[in-house]
Amino acid sequence: MRKFTQARFPVRLQIVIVGLLLLVAVIVWRIVYLHVLDQDFLQSRGDKLSVRHVPIAAHRGLIADRNGEPLAVSTPVVAIWVNPRELISQRERWPELARVLDLDLAEMSERLERLSRRGFLYLKRSLTPEEGARVLALRIPGVYEQAEYRRFYPAGEVTSHVVGMTNIDDRGTEGVEKTFDHWLAGVPGQQRVLKNPRGQLIKDFGEAKSAKPGKSLRLSLDLRLQYLAHRELMHALTETGAQAGTVVLMDVKSGEILAMVNLPTYNPNNRRTLDPATMRNRAVVDIFEPGSTVKPFSIAAALGTGRWKPTDTVDTYPGSLRIGRYTIKDVSRAGVLDLTGILMKSSNVGVTKIAFDIGHEPIHRVMQQVGFGQSTGLGFLGEQAGILPNHRRWGQAETATLAYGYGLSVTAVQLVHAYATLANEGRRVPLSLVRLDEPQASEQVIDPQIARTMTNILRDVVGGQGGIVRARVPGYHVGGKSGTARKAATGSKGYQAKAYRGFFAGIAPIDNPRLAMVVMIDEPDVAKGYYGGLVAAPVFSKVMAGALRLMNIAPDNLPPPAPATPAARTAVTPPATGGRG
């Protein structure tokens, strides 16, 4: 057995030696191959360990109003980042760094200790270039800066619900910034640099890829009208003690939104005090029962059936109507009213009797044609389509409530769009928040003659004897309808006690309608009054008056010129001639 082992040992040794020689040969061949035949491989591996591509920030596109006034601009800022692996050895300088950055030393130290194995960590962002320079002047190893951009909003809280804002990474999170983020966002570039294993910059090779700035966007808003609407709405909320309010103004011909204001609001330039409750764009997110503001569409539906004419009358006495276990009531006992009188007195009984005569189908069809229950297409985050009921069985109660504005829900934008359709001779034009250079295609949804009849009726509702005096605009014929609705209870059926919304929706000037507006005052102080004609109509009057003047729209209701009176003759005494004759 011993001889057999000794005999086999030299053979095993030879096999091991041959194997080692083959391994050495493979290694030598690989070295020669990589250094002579395939040098690019080692070069690329070396670059991955030392050559870096540092992102170059690209600023977002400018957002401006229709006249070019800036609403959102990008300003250069600095982000301070650190390499924790490198900074961990500089503990004695951490207090100095925390003091300059205005950071809590304990929190900063905890983060650095916890993430000490990372190679990248933001310490603070959105610093001014001057603040960034003070940090770098400390010359603390492992502390670096990175150029970025931050959004600034010159109009602040006045346009915040429309324009929106961006997050710390400069991506849109609200409003137009979110809706058009793909258009506004730029494409970051790349800068090729050489760094050592500790992350320190050795050489800058320049731009490898240029940054592309975002595209600019011009909105349909007129900043002058936006400021005007904001001021008047704020004054109204102060006077009425209301909790919130909305104003939407649009061009009836083009479909462009000229002003959209919500209160309460927020300042996008101050992120520390942001309250989510104030960031909601109520004009497109909040839905409500519009009350009497939809009665003109019920009247338009009646005219469309051919069964009713503007001069036809309805006996509304005694101002109440019993339907099953429900009683419909009017504020006043007006007696016999024609169609104009029904709208002027806002008679629920009158509209209900008309609805019973024509049925629910014509009313439902008209409301659907003007856009109720459908998205406006503006593309806002959280936009609501509202509710236009379509009951399987329409009883008298469902028909009546639809006719006078309960049982359906709309947004302020939908309501102003519906009135604009009436003002535009029954043509429905798509809404737009972007300035348009070419007219949009429209759709005829209401007979032009009926639409003109309705605008004349709305003119009398405001300007006629007993009309809505507070909505009138000096020098112009305007038309519109007020409305008041109880607020639905949240979390239970029924309505809140002593909680109302007051509305006014109108158009101007009647002879050639150009503008449509909706004002909504949410939960005014009941003790100060809550009817739409009292709390919302004055806002309509003031904002519409200013808008008509700013847009140089000719008055259509000027008083006739006074007859000229003959000028009194003035005796002229000839100059005295001196000297003798």
- Give the separation between CA 97 and CA 80, rounded to whole angstroms: 11
CB 216 within 8 A of CB 61: yes
Determine the 3-state secondary structure of 218 from DSSP.
strand
CB 363 within 8 A of CB 388: no
Q: Cβ-count burial of 27 within 10 angstroms (0-12 exposed, 13-18 middle, 19+ buried)? A: exposed
Catalytic residue among 160, 292, 346, 432: 292
Return the HEC string of 139-168.
CCCCEEEEEEEEEECCCHHHCHHHHCEECC
Element housing 545 (H / E): helix 537-550
Q: Is beta strand 257-263 parallel, antiparallel or unpaired with respect to 244-251?
A: antiparallel
CB 398 within 8 A of CB 407: yes
Task: Report the amino acid identity of residue 83.
Answer: N
**Exposure string over 262-299, b if 16+ CB within 10 A, otherwise e:** bbbbbbbeeeeeeeeebbbbbbbbbbbbbbbbbbbbbb
Q: Cβ-count burial of 141 within 10 angstroms (0-12 exposed, 13-18 middle, 19+ buried)? A: middle
Is residue 254 annotated as a catalytic residue, yes or no? no
CB 153 within 8 A of CB 169: no
Catalytic positions are: 292
